[in-house]
Structure 1
Amino acid sequence: MRHDKAAMVLDLARRLAASAEGLTLDEMARAMEVGRRTAERMRDAVWALYPQMEEVPDPPTKRWRIRGGLSAFEQAPDTTELLELTKAAEALRRAGEPGRAAALEALEHKIKAAMRSTTLNRLAPDLEALVRAETIAVQAGPRPFEDEAVLSVIRRAIMAGTAVGFVYMGGSTPGRKRRIAPFGLMFGRANYLVGGDLDSAQPEAPRTFRLDHMEGVTALPDRASPPADFDLQAFASRSFGVYQGELEEVVLHIAPDKADEARAWRWHPTQTLTNLADGGVEVRFNSSGMRELAWHLFTWGEAVRIAGPDSLKAEMRQALEAAARAHGGA
């Protein structure tokens, strides 16, 4: 289906209708995973089917877009797409994030309301059967803090380019008032605001603040925006978890009996895997957050050996010693 020409042309048409500014030929080629010449032919095919498509000058290049969207027939989702939307909302609700879950559920209702009744009636039995047949495993861990009012204040500040103020009960000085330029939000086992402390010597340096440690969050009139070169995804990818520090090269040796599992594991965006002579596998990546990585490595038991860096070995030794003290070990 991925290489079916008609499906690919319709996929491109949807992307052109979904983009307010339009797409360049290079962007079309990347999105459709084809060469530029193929992207040109696909664009022409879309233009023949949708003459309302328009060319938008954007020197030194051009963009194309379809104004007014596509018809409900062309946009009707399939069973799998509706199922994944339902499961994503369910996962958020089970993880203790009802606000984000409600947003996805509202989107699901809007999509279904826009569908033709005949299409919805055709999909409903299959969707109901799949929803009953699939579930999400409950994982141990802290419940992510979610206060819709707090998220709303932060999101409005991000869109307006203004600061937020709050009393932060975490960090080395609990109870301190903060004026923060919000750079973005990171959601995971705990939810964090990423921002710059306007009262510090380096207000452009990104720091993380746990949402459940913030009290009295308010919008401030101060103009505040992230540095022009700040990339939230790149920032998040620096660390194994959330804690940020100096990047270090991590080298792990996984025992042969766990090698297949290690190859299927997503350790880090920068990871490389190398087969070892004994049948094991070497995992190598650049990261900070050695403490969180040490915590994770506990789950691998004797199957993992830390080859480097020394800071990770030290974190693991400290964690092992603390666990031994807590359980009566030597």
Structure 2
Amino acid sequence: MRHDKAAVVIELARRMAGSAEGLTLDDMARDLDVGRRTAERLRDAVLMLFPGAEEVSDPPTKRWRIRGGLSAFEQAPTTTELVELNRAALALRRADEPVRAAALESLERKIKSAVRSTTLNRLAPDLEALVRAETIAVQAGPRPTADESMLAAIRGAVLAERALGFIYSRPGAEARRRTVAPCGLMFGRANYLVAADLGTQKVQTFRLDRMSAVEPLDQTARPPAGFDLAAFANRSFGIYQDDVEDVALHVTAEGAAEARAWRWHPTQTLEDQPDGSVIVRFTASGMRELAWHLFTWGERVRILAPDRLKTVMADELAAAMRAHGDAQGR
């Protein structure tokens, strides 16, 4: 068996051991990016090499899994995996997210404690060298916060399908007691609870740093039928959710190379123009955050659509001019 095929077989075994319900042949083919016949051969190799593998009947399909997990030898982490885990924890620390950082640091300790000492000794020099050789650039922006008790309360309400109560305070507005159906959490430049109004079922976002007295309530509350948190997050250019718009941006030839390498939005399409420029199109909400981002492109980007984005951009520019004056110092 070639070394590359052996690695794929081990990877499939890991996926089968990490799935409680098991994997279908279609799952295997999709996860490993191979054809169905290749997936069948890889499955057969796993069944031959791992006695703990079993077939699970799930009409009209079949599934395969490995109960009891894999041995430490088969699960030894690589230097790169440990470095990335360390980096992720460090990034959360620097972003003032101690609770989430502590969870990753605890996971790192557990992984290291489960690895054989000889393997850990072999990894240690490279791991230490890479940790010293890589760092994280600190970017300006809001400091997302979420204390452990708040996250525990929200997650508990999500798992138990219970309503969540809290006091929400917004600048310039009176604090209000809110009762919602929690749908999930979004982490980013600021951290948000995504929740549905109990009456209208309208899904909204709430900044965690503006929430207090958070507690699960003795009332059943589920997300709206068919709600998908990832799809909800992908609607917006950033975090803010408003009307969905068809966006078209013309990027000059000077900025085209960067625009092609930029991830604007999951729905983006790029249209190369004869003069070397490019038109970027996507469908999203969050025009204010998009306007803020477009400021960083300067004269290299011109808004083609929608008109509302042009208005928001002009309003933000006018506000900046009022605060700082124009080029002649007025």
Same fold at TM > 0.5: yes
Match of 1:294 among 291, 295, 312: 291
Partner in structure 2 of residue 232 of structure 1? 229
Higher mean alpha-carbon deviation, 177-186 vs 54-63, is at 54-63
Q: Distance in 1 between matches of 2:322 and 2:284?
A: 29
Q: What is the CA-CA distance between 1:301 and the residue it aligns to?
A: 0.6
Q: What is the CA-CA distance between 1:228 and the residue it aligns to?
A: 3.0
Higher mean alpha-carbon deviation, 117-126 vs 49-58, is at 49-58
Normalising to structure 2: TM-score of the pair?
A: 0.96
Written as runs of structure 1 = structure 2, the 5 A alignment for 1:110-125 is: 110-125=110-125
Deviations 1:117-160 (A, max 9, x none): 00000000000000000000000000001211100100011111
The residue identity in structure 2 corresponding to 1:297 is L
1:212 has 2:206 as partner: no
Q: Distance in 2 between matches of 1:136 and 1:23?
A: 37
Q: What is the CA-CA distance between 1:315 and the residue it aligns to?
A: 0.4
The residue identity in structure 1 corresponding to 2:238 is G
Q: What is the CA-CA distance between 1:255 and the residue it aligns to?
A: 1.1
Partner in structure 1 of residue 268 of structure 2? 271
Q: Distance in 2 between matches of 1:23 and 1:171?
A: 49
The residue identity in structure 2 corresponding to 1:273 is L
Partner in structure 1 of residue 50 of structure 2? 50
SS at match of 2:62: strand
The residue identity in structure 2 corresponding to 1:124 is A
SS at match of 1:128: helix
**RMSD value over aligned CA atoms?**
1.4
The residue identity in structure 2 corresponding to 1:315 is V
Written as runs of structure 1 = structure 2, the 5 A alignment for 1:144-293 is: 144-170=144-170, 174-198=174-198, 200=199, 202=200, 204-293=201-290
Normalising to structure 1: TM-score of the pair?
A: 0.96
Percent identity of the aligned residues? 68
Q: What is the CA-CA distance between 1:51 and the residue it aligns to?
A: 2.1
1:76 has 2:73 as partner: no
Partner in structure 1 of residue 38 of structure 2? 38
1:7 has 2:7 as partner: yes
1:322 has 2:322 as partner: no
Q: Distance in 2 between matches of 1:164 and 1:227?
A: 15
Moved over 3 A (4+): 171-174
Question: Is contact 2:29–2:35 with CA below 8 Å preserved after alignment?
Answer: yes
Question: Is contact 2:196–2:224 with CA below 8 Å preserved after alignment?
Answer: no
Q: Distance in 2 between matches of 1:283 and 1:174?
A: 41
Deviations 1:6-39 (A, max 9, x none): 1000000000001111111111111000111111
The residue identity in structure 1 corresponding to 2:121 is N
Q: Distance in 2 between matches of 1:34 and 1:171?
A: 53
SS at match of 2:178: strand
Q: What is the CA-CA distance between 1:238 and the residue it aligns to?
A: 0.2
The residue identity in structure 2 corresponding to 1:266 is R
* Ranges in structure 1 where 5+ consecutive residues have no aligned partner: none
Q: Distance in 2 between matches of 1:115 and 1:69?
A: 15
Q: What is the CA-CA distance between 1:63 and the residue it aligns to?
A: 0.9
Q: Distance in 1 between matches of 2:85 and 2:43?
A: 29
Q: Distance in 2 between matches of 1:81 and 1:106?
A: 15
Q: Distance in 1 between matches of 2:115 and 2:325?
A: 63
1:140 has 2:140 as partner: yes
Q: 1:66 to 1:118 in 2, by over 3 A?
A: same
Q: What is the CA-CA distance between 1:257 and the residue it aligns to?
A: 1.1
Question: Is contact 2:165–2:215 with CA below 8 Å preserved after alignment?
Answer: yes
Q: Distance in 2 between matches of 1:180 and 1:62?
A: 40
* Ranges in structure 2 where 5+ consecutive residues have no aligned partner: none
Deviations 1:272-308 (A, max 9, x none): 1111121111110000110110011001111110011
Q: Distance in 1 between matches of 2:19 and 2:3?
A: 23
Partner in structure 2 of residue 128 of structure 1? 128
Q: What is the CA-CA distance between 1:3 and the residue it aligns to?
A: 8.9
Q: What is the CA-CA distance between 1:73 and the residue it aligns to?
A: 0.5
Q: Distance in 1 between matches of 2:206 and 2:270?
A: 33
